[in-house]
Amino acid sequence: MKHVLKMLDLSPEEITQILDLADQLKYEKKHGIAHPYLIGKSIGLIFQKASTRTRVSFETGMNQLGGQALFLSARDLQIGRGEPVQDTARVLSRYLDAIMIRTFDQKEVEDLAEYGTIPVINGLTDFSHPCQVLADLMTIRERFGSLKGVKMAYLGDGDNMANSLIVGGLKTGMVVSVATPDEYKPDPIVLDFASEYDTFTWTNDPYEAVKDADVVITDTWASMGVEAEKEVRQIAFAPYQVNDELMKVAKPEAMVLHCLPAYREQEITEKVFEEHADEIFEEAENRLHAQKAVMVLLMKD
Ligand code: CP
Ligand code: NVA
């Protein structure tokens, strides 16, 4: 494993290796056992979009591992003034030991990895959000003990979260059911990948997707970059809201996850959110542990 650019690149064994190490690091953290695996190492965190969880969990995670994290706002980097990503990659490779980047275009992340000589971690693009999905899989596995055969239902926008959950879920043996409006389907590359699995279904009927689900997951209806479409999207996505009616068809003990930030009374009701807040905030915490595992596996000598 050289980089974490998208879930499509990770083998099932690599995903399991990350989740196992994440569990170990979480245990050690809870029991006050220090794990300074990355003393003297530096990671640059490039942000082209806003962030609360990704920024803070990478910064504190690196600190807990004994290394240093540099927050690099794309607005202040020369990349924001048109310096080619190829040059940025070659320069940063001479100062840093890894780069995390949050941006729009998946190609920018792939280019950084291609032209640089250090590991690159995708902290969210329009196409994928692998760090979030590793934390989600960790959270689901903690609850059920295993991912095999656990049914995940994803509702709403066929966005970066949908793309990554589909791939991560199928690769780890989950049953994945996705409901989106016809015009907001997941990426064709992901649907093509998923078509190889008889454990995958796409539908435009939210009730069909959620039926007997063990885990129900949703995301904002207007991701970063498409906020201008908010009003049109609110109409298109209204039937996909995670609410009491919909939860009645899931398994009675079903979990609800949300990568956050969550918009109440839009993709999820306040009531369902608060009933599942412990799960959702455990999921947010697991970003820290999963990303620490990724950094250790990519950066440790
Ligand atoms: N879920 C997530 O990636 O959160 P941030 O946008 O706050 O980093
Ligand atoms: N789909 C959302 C996820 C935010 C963490 C977005 O891209 O804005």
pLDDT tens for 178-209 read 999 999 999 999 999 999 999 999 999 999 99
pLDDT of res. 2? 96
Mean of per-residue pLDDT scores for the chain: 98
Report the nearest-CA residue for atom 7 of ligand 2.
223
SS3 218: strand
Assess whether pLDDT exceeds 90 at residue 231. Answer: yes
pLDDT of res. 174? 98
SS3 183: helix
Ligand lying closest to the C-alpha of residue 132 = 1
Angstrom distance (rounded) from CA 169 to CA 174: 5
Cα separations in angstroms, 127 against 8, 102, 103: 11, 11, 10
Ligand lying closest to the C-alpha of residue 45 = 1
Residues with CB under 6 A from ligand 1: 51-54, 124, 132, 259-260
Name, in order, each residue with C-beta under 8 angstroms of 245's C-beta and a sequence gap of 6 or more: none
Q: Are 164 and 132 in contact (CB under 8 A)?
A: yes
Looking at the predicted complex, does its ipTM rise above 0.95? yes
Ligand lying closest to the C-alpha of residue 260 = 1
**How would residue 240 be classed by pLDDT, with cut points 50, 70 and 90?**
very high
Name the residue of 259, 263, 267, 287 whose CB sits within 8 Å of the most ligand 2 atoms, as the mutation to test its pocket: 259
pLDDT of res. 48? 96
> Of the ranges 75-79, 218-222, 284-288, which one carries the lowest mean pLDDT score?
75-79
The residues that are catalytic are 102, 129, 132, 219, 259, 287
Residue with tokens 């950066």: 299
Instruction: Say if pTM beats, i.e. exceeds, 0.95.
Output: yes
Name the residue of 220, 260, 285, 288 whose CB sits within 8 Å of the most ligand 1 atoms, as the mutation to test its pocket: 260
pLDDT of res. 168? 98
Nearest ligand 1 atom to alpha carbon 123? 3
**Can you tell me the mean pLDDT for 9-28?**
98
Report the nearest-CA residue for atom 4 of ligand 1.
53
**Can you tell me the mean pLDDT for 258-264?**
98
Cα separations in angstroms, 14 against 21, 63, 188, 294, 297: 11, 24, 24, 10, 10
Angstrom distance (rounded) from CA 278 to CA 253: 14
Q: Are 115 and 3 in contact (CB under 8 A)?
A: no
C-alpha Rg value of the chain to the nearest Å: 19
State the distance from the centre of ligand 2 to the C-alpha of 196, rounded, in angstroms. Answer: 27
Helix H or strand E encompassing 162: helix 160-171
- pLDDT digit string, tens, across residues 83-130: 999 999 999 999 999 999 999 999 999 999 999 999 999 999 999 999
pLDDT of res. 80? 85
Residues with CB under 6 A from ligand 2: 124, 159-161, 219-220, 223-224, 259
Angstrom distance (rounded) from CA 44 to CA 182: 39
Q: How many CB atoms lie within 10 A of CB 2?
A: 10
- pLDDT digit string, tens, across residues 5-16: 999 999 999 999
**Can you tell me the mean pLDDT for 37-49?**
98
∠ CA 285-135-128, rounded to 5°: 125
Residue with tokens 């979260």: 161
pLDDT of res. 282? 98
